[in-house]
């Protein structure tokens, strides 16, 4: 029993330590039109992309004529160390929605690869998935072990009814319940990571190592800097969005799917039209408009998917109508 309890404590620590870390289609595209051969592969992917997905509050498509690539951005909400229980509850709700969205796209639309924010190398992506799988397996073994012990003790109880056996059975049932709760709550560290650990998706890094970002992250964490500072916004938001456009434009696939924080936005009114809801973002630049002007042979269209429980976004939408 001592070794089992040690594993249990180790697991609880690992779960939280290793957690990672363009509204309607524009006039240029007809929502009900079937993709034509003259339409680029990227825009055929955009037009064919489902307008309704289980777990999604909205699916917003922004077609740029002649686009070579299309980004599908699933808006995410991050888990951070030191969060209150209420904040963690909200994060879990978003992650459960994102899990449903990603699973649906995997099963019905052939989604196989997802680029994930917070991963800056393939090695770190592989480590992250490996740790998630190890944690899941440890949980499974612990739960099965306790359940097996409960069954054995209940069989003994039939022949020897005593208080010690009853107490041990009750304690083990509480442990099983607690471990199952940990399993359910582990999704807080990321739906994409969980699906990758289950072998249903492959995740790749959505950024590369950036010293400026790491330094700014530390300054924000210490309180030396605030997100109200222009340089913080530029480094933590727009610069990283530009970085992902570089990554996406080097891929052979026309449709690239990314899970990134909901404060990020690659679009703006220039690239996505006057109806683009800028109040839903913190990013200051229209990355796609700037990129497309500089790279007319590698232009981007955009799809934004907002999870149903993204409360801040839902509130903004309701309040603006």
- Residue 236 has a CB neighbour count (10 Å cut-off) of 23
With beta carbons less than 8 A apart as the criterion, state whether 209 and 121 touch: yes
Percent of the chain topping pLDDT 70:
70
Task: Over range 126-146, report the average pLDDT.
Answer: 79
Domain residue ranges in the chain:
22-131+188-319
Strand order from edge to edge, sheet including 255-261: 56-62, 300-307, 69-76, 255-261, 113-116, 202-205
Residue 293 has pLDDT above 70, yes or no: yes
In degrees, to the nearest 5, what angle opens at C-alpha 253 toward C-alphas 100 and 259?
35
pLDDT for the residue numbered 263: 84
| Secondary structure of the chain in HEC code, one letter for each residue | CHHHHHHHHHHHHHHHHCCCCCCCCCCCCCCCCCCCCCCCHHHHHHHHCCCCCCCEEEEEEECCCCCCEEEEEEEECCCCCCCCHHHHHHHHHHHHHHHHHHHHHHHHCCCCEEEECCCCCHHHHHHHHHHHHHHHHHHHHHHHHHHHHHHHHHHHHHHCCCHHHHHHHHHHHHHHHHHHHHHHHHHHHCHHHHHHHCCCCEEEECCCCCHHHHHHHHHHHHCCCCCCCHHHHHHHHHHHHHHHHHHHHCCCCCEEEEEEECCCCCCCHHHHCCCCCHHHCCCCCCHHHHHHHHCCCCCEEEEEEEECCCHHHHHHHHHCC
- Between 270 and 317, the higher pLDDT residue: 270
Q: Give residue 172's pLDDT band: very low, low, confident or very high (50, 70, 90).
A: confident
Burial bucket for residue 250 (CB in 10 Å: 0-12, 13-18, 19+): exposed
Task: Over range 134-161, report the average pLDDT.
Answer: 83
Residue 9 has pLDDT above 90, yes or no: no
Residue 124 has pLDDT above 70, yes or no: no
Task: Over range 110-123, report the average pLDDT.
Answer: 84
Residue 1 has pLDDT above 50, yes or no: no
Task: Over range 204-231, report the average pLDDT.
Answer: 65
Q: Which residues contact 285 (CB under 8 A, 6 or more apart)?
A: 238, 241, 268
Q: How far apart are CA 32 and CA 121, in angstroms?
A: 39
How far lies 100's CA from each of 93, 157, 262, 270, 308, in Å? Answer: 11, 43, 17, 32, 10
- Between 313 and 104, the higher pLDDT residue: 104
Helices 122-159 and 163-185: crossing angle in degrees, nearest 10, is 160
pLDDT for the residue numbered 43: 97
Task: Over range 2-13, report the average pLDDT.
Answer: 46
- Between 272 and 186, the higher pLDDT residue: 272
Instruction: Scan for tokens 């497309």, then name that residue.
Output: 292
Give residue 301's Cα distance to chain centre: 21
């Amino acid at each position: 029993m001592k070794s089992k309890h040690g594993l249990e404590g180790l697991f609880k620590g690992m779960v939280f330590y290793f957690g990672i870390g363009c509204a309607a289609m524009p006039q240029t595209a007809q929502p009900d039109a079937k993709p034509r051969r003259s339409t680029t592969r990227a825009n055929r992917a955009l037009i064919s992309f489902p307008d309704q997905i289980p777990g999604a509050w909205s699916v917003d498509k922004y077609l740029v004529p002649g686009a070579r690539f299309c980004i599908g951005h699933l808006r995410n909400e991050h888990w951070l160390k030191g969060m209150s229980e209420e904040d963690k509850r909200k994060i879990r709700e978003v992650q459960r929605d994102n899990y449903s969205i990603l699973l649906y796209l995997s099963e019905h639309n052939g989604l196989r690869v997802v680029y994930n924010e917070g991963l800056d190398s393939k090695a770190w992506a592989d480590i992250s998935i490996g740790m998630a799988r190890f944690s899941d397996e440890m949980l499974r073994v612990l739960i099965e072990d306790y359940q097996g012990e409960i069954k054995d003790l209940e069989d003994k109880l039939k022949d020897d009814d005593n208080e010690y056996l009853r107490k041990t059975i009750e304690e083990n049932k509480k442990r099983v319940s607690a471990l199952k709760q940990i399993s359910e709550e582990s999704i807080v560290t990321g739906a994409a990571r969980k699906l990758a650990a289950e072998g249903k998706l492959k995740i790749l890094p959505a950024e590369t190592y950036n010293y400026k970002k790491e330094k700014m992250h530390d300054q924000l964490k210490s309180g030396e800097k605030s997100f109200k500072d222009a340089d913080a916004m530029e480094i933590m938001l727009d610069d990283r969005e530009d970085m992902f456009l570089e990554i996406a434009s080097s891929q052979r696939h026309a449709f690239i799917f990314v899970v990134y924080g909901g404060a990020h936005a690659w679009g703006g009114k220039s690239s996505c039209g006057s109806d683009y809801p800028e109040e839903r973002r913190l990013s200051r630049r229209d990355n796609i408009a700037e990129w497309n002007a500089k790279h007319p042979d590698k232009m981007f269209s955009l799809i934004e998917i907002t999870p149903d429980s993204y409360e801040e976004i839902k509130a903004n939408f309701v309040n603006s109508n």
